A and B are shown apart, each in its own frame.
Chain A
Amino acid sequence: LAKTTQPISMDSYEGQEVNITCSHNNIATNDYITWYQQFPSQGPRFIIQGYKTKVTNEVASLFIPADRKSSTLSLPRVSLSDTAVYYCLVGYNAGNNRKLIWGLGTSLAVNP
């Protein structure tokens, strides 16, 4: 049974790089890996998505090793406003056969 596992919480300081790793041992060939950020009283918001190797956008990087059994969300130089819950999502969404496996979320606290 597919499952995603991520740390429950992490602490960091302003200006540091934060890496959050998600394990997804049973990832299937056509699964994508997506990360979302959620602030209190808001819906989750898309951060980044990848399939393999490395993806980078203006807010984060996503590292995926060759076996794709894990992925690491990297937030460069975090600030207080990055304090949020980060969710890892593994799945595919095509045709009539779809599945979406959400992690339980990592609560990141950025301290001054």
Chain B
Amino acid sequence: DTAVSQTPKYLVTQMGNDKSIKCEQNLGHDTMYWYKQDSKKFLKIMFSYNNKELIINETVPNRFSPKSPDKAHLNLHINSLELGDSAVYFCASSHSVGEQFFGPGTRLTVL
């Protein structure tokens, strides 16, 4: 059973399009995250939700909008995609201060 799953694994799209990445965790965790990892491997936290409430919102363009329909899901919607959005996006979950469990990542390529 996959603990943290993301779909799709790969996403190739044109500039200007709108796309969504879905994330689900079956660990019963109360906190979920979205990270962006660029080609230099820098891991940048974007958002964090606790019990469906946004608690971390780093400096991210407002083209990025997270949506948490319930505690087990945190989706990421991206409007008007730009070349610089190309990266690997990781979803993660945790129990408050505990270890974070990461998903397998979604490699986004914007052409």
The binding surface of chain B is classed by DSSP as: strand
Chain B neighbourhood of A61, CB < 8 A: none
A42 touches B105 (CB 8 A): yes
Interface residues of B toward A: which range?
20 to 34
Chain A neighbourhood of B11, CB < 8 A: none
Known A44-B43, A85-B41, A105-B42; judge A32-B104 contact (CB<8 A).
no
B100 touches A102 (CB 8 A): no
A43 touches B41 (CB 8 A): no
The binding surface of chain A is classed by DSSP as: strand
> Does residue B20 face the partner (Cβ distance < 8 Å to A)?
no
Chain B neighbourhood of A107, CB < 8 A: 41
In this complex, how many residues of chain A approach chain B with their Cβ under 8 Å: the count is: 24
B96 touches A94 (CB 8 A): yes
Instruction: Select A105's contact among B43, B50, B99, beta carbons within 8 Å.
Output: B43
Known A42-B105, A44-B102, A93-B96; judge A100-B43 contact (CB<8 A).
no
Chain A neighbourhood of B56, CB < 8 A: 98-100
B104 touches A42 (CB 8 A): yes
Known A41-B105, A45-B102, A46-B100; judge A98-B48 contact (CB<8 A).
yes
Q: Mark A87-108, 1 if CB is under 8 A from B, else 0.
A: 1000011101011101011010
Distance in angstroms from A18 CB to nearest chain B CB is: 19
> Does residue A34 face the partner (Cβ distance < 8 Å to B)?
yes
Interface residues of A (CB under 8 A from B): 32, 34, 36, 38, 41-46, 49, 85, 87, 92-94, 96, 98-100, 102, 104-105, 107
Interface residues of B (CB under 8 A from A): 4, 31, 41-45, 48, 50, 55-56, 90, 92, 94, 96-105
What are 29 of the A-B contact pairs (CB < 8 Å)?
Answer: A32-B97, A38-B41, A42-B105, A43-B4, A43-B92, A43-B102, A43-B103, A44-B90, A44-B100, A45-B102, A46-B100, A46-B101, A49-B98, A49-B99, A85-B41, A87-B43, A93-B94, A93-B96, A94-B97, A98-B55, A98-B56, A99-B56, A100-B45, A100-B56, A102-B43, A102-B44, A102-B45, A104-B41, A105-B43
